[in-house]
Each structure stands twice: as structure tokens, then as C-alpha cells.
């Protein structure tokens, strides 16, 4: 299915990992990029034994809105497409946490991005109100360093020292 993706992204307070306790579900995700150019990405994802192909267009000026097309593909197709991806992969566990009428997706990264924890919330409009869980910290919507396609190219381990200690 395709349509507009409207989301906001935040750093997460990691002390005690409260998002884990608050989660109603979690899953391991591995993904690669066939194309990770600015303004368009083609992603292959394997999540819970299922494959997905996602194409994303450029973000708006605020970084909140962009076109997204996603289609489930077979696990075999996803496995084969992963072999065509650019060097590097994203490996993370995603925790789903309800807050008010929204679900926050909290990603805990591994490998070169180990130590990074980011939360996203999908919205119906850029100015839609939502209730932030207590573990939500600084907003990083639109900061390209936190895009998964960029984390693949320039892992968090290379620039973690630029963030306050509580987020490293």
C-alpha cells in the first residue's frame, strides 16, 4: 500500500530501559537498502519471518511527511533482495508502546548503531496532538543522522560523542 507517511522522531531516555517494560509487543528487524539516495530510498526488511519492500520519497522541509509505498513480499524474495543491497545493514529490536491513542515504535539498535534508541510516532497530520510517554526526550524529526538509511552509511558509533551522555 502507498500513501503519505507522517511521523515524528525522538531520542529516548535509556536509563532502566522503561520502554521495554511498557511495550505490548516487540520484534527483531533486519533491513538493507537497494537505494539510499537523498530524496528516495528502496528498503528491504525482514521482520518476524516476513519480508517487506518499501519505497520512500523525499521528506518535506520539516522532515515529518513523505510518500511511502510498502508491499509484503515472500521471505525468500526478501532474502534474495538483501543480497542486492548496498553495503551495511540495520539490525534492531522494535518495541511497540501505547500512549493515549497512538503507538510509539521504539527502536533499539545493534552493531555499529549499538546504544542508539529512537522512538517514532505516526500521525494523521503534522500538527496532530499526542501524549509523549515519560521516556521520550529530545525531538530529532528531520535530523538526517537519525534516518535508518543514514545510520547504515554513517553508524552511530562514529558520531555518538556529539550527543549528551544520557543518549549515548
Question: Cα angle vertex 163, ends 168, 62, to 5°?
Answer: 120
Known catalytic residues?
A: 33
The DSSP secondary structure of the chain, one letter per residue, reads -EEEEEEEEEEE--TT-HHHHH-SEEEEEEEEEEEEETTEEEEEEEETTEEEEEEE----TTSSEEEEEEEEE-HHHHHHHHTTSPS--EEEEEEEEEETTEEEEEEEE-GGGTT-EEEEEE-SSTT---PPPTTEEEE-TT-GGGSHHHHHHS-GGGTGGGS-GGG-
Amino acid at each position: 500500500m502507498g500513501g503519505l507517511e507522517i511521523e515524528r522522531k525522538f531520542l529516548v531516555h535509556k536509563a532502566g530501559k522503561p520502554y521495554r517494560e511498557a511495550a505490548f509487543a516487540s520484534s527483531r528487524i533486519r533491513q538493507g537498502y537497494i537505494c539510499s539516495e537523498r530524496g528516495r530510498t528502496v528498503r528491504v526488511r525482514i521482520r518476524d519471518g516476513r519480508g517487506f519492500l518499501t519505497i520512500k520519497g523525499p521528506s518535506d522541509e520539516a522532515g515529518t511527511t513523505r510518500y511511502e509505498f510498502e508491499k509484503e513480499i515472500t521471505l525468500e524474495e526478501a532474502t534474495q533482495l538483501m543480497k542486492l543491497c548496498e553495503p551495511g545493514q540495520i539490525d534492531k529490536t522494535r518495541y511497540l508502546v501505547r500512549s493515549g491513542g497512538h503507538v510509539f515504535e521504539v527502536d533499539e539498535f545493534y552493531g555499529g548503531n549499538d546504544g542508539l534508541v529512537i522512538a517514532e510516532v505516526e500521525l494523521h497530520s503534522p500538527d496532530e496532538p499526542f501524549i509523549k510517554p515519560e521516556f521520550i526526550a529530545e525531538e530529532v524529526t528531520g535530523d538526517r543522522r537519525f534516518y535508518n538509511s543514514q545510520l547504515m552509511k554513517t553508524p552511530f558509533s562514529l558520531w555518538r560523542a556529539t550527543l549528551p551522555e544520557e543518549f549515548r
